[in-house]
Amino acid sequence: MRQCLVIGRPNVGKTLLCLRLAQACGLKWAFIMHELPDGAVRERVLTIRDAMATLVSAARYTTVGIQTVGVGMSSAIGQRLVLHDSTGLCEDSHDNALIRRGMARTLTLMVQSEQIVHVVDATTLDKGVLSPIDSLIMDVSKARDVPYTLVFNKSDAPGAMRKTELYRKSDRRTRPLVVSALRAQGIDDIQRVLIRTNVVN
Ligand SMILES: Nc1nc2c(ncn2[C@@H]2O[C@H](COP(=O)(O)OP(=O)(O)OP(=O)(O)O)[C@@H](O)[C@H]2O)c(=O)[nH]1
Ligand SMILES: [Mg+2]
């Protein structure tokens, strides 16, 4: 089973995006395995709707540890895939030891996972430039020989498209997928990438 890490700063929409992908794969229920920073594992089966209500929040660091969601891509065209929704990363250390451990586990997966989906809140791009931690995530991911996809989320929010255009002018090598997890727009573009990169020949 292919392991895909969904990584990014806190509150960029990683969890909602994972659940939208599960939904786009036709799932009504999500099997969620939550690996807590203390090593404990909690398994839950929730409807996608309940998972969104429970696991998505405007508060930063809602996801602490690694939350794995199985999104079986069509078995006819590809192998099964799991998404590792992760703890948001930031430049500074954090007061909370559990969050620090969650970040450390996320960094470990960044160098181990077989595929990386890097989520950025498009409204936070400063003059169209990635934050230092996002630049680091991109550099490390590209240095590894695994599929890497940059996703600009929250395209529905004011200023997001203007900032995305500025980014496109400053970095012509990396073409971000522009999506709104809130409005379920552009999710099929990510799904297509996941299917293409997971086809079994
Ligand atoms: N406007 C807008 N809001 C979004 C979008 N995607 C997510 N959000 C909101 O952003 C907030 C954070 O979403 P989450 O999915 O919890 O983000 P996260 O990256 O998992 O956050 P942490 O687990 O805290 O790191 C919630 O209030 C979501 O409703 C989007 O496409 N547009
Ligand atoms: Mg989350």
Check if 182 has its Cβ closer than 6 Å to any atom of ligand 1.
Answer: yes
* Confidence (pLDDT) at 64: 96
What domains are defined for the chain? 2-197 (3.40.50.300)
**Terminal alpha carbon distance of the chain:** 15
Which residues are found with C-beta within 5 Å of the ion, ligand 2?
14-15, 62-63
User: Per-residue pLDDT tens for 24-43?
Assistant: 888 888 889 999 988 899 99
Task: With CA atoms as reference, report the closest residue to 23 among 59, 56, 66, 57.
Answer: 56
* Confidence (pLDDT) at 77: 41
* Confidence (pLDDT) at 43: 93
SS3 call for 41? strand
User: Per-residue pLDDT tens for 179-188?
Assistant: 999 999 999 9
Q: Is the pLDDT at 54 greater than 90, yes or no?
A: yes
Check if 12 has its Cβ closer than 6 Å to any atom of ligand 1.
Answer: yes
Q: Is the pLDDT at 45 greater than 70, yes or no?
A: yes
Question: Other CB atoms closer than 10 Å to residue 129's CB: what's the count?
Answer: 14
Neighbouring-strand partners of residue 78: 199
User: Per-residue pLDDT tens for 92-138?
Assistant: 889 999 999 999 999 999 999 999 999 999 999 998 899 999 999 99
Beta-strand pair 66-71/81-85: antiparallel
Task: Say which residue the tokens 């995530």 belong to.
Answer: 137
* Confidence (pLDDT) at 81: 84
SS3 call for 3? strand
**Which tokens in the block code for residue 175?**
């073409």
Ligand nearest to the CA of 52: 1
Whole-number Å distance, alpha carbon 15 to ligand 1 midpoint, is 7
Q: Report d(CA 37, CA 94) in Å as an integer.
A: 14
Q: Is the pLDDT at 74 greater than 70, yes or no?
A: no
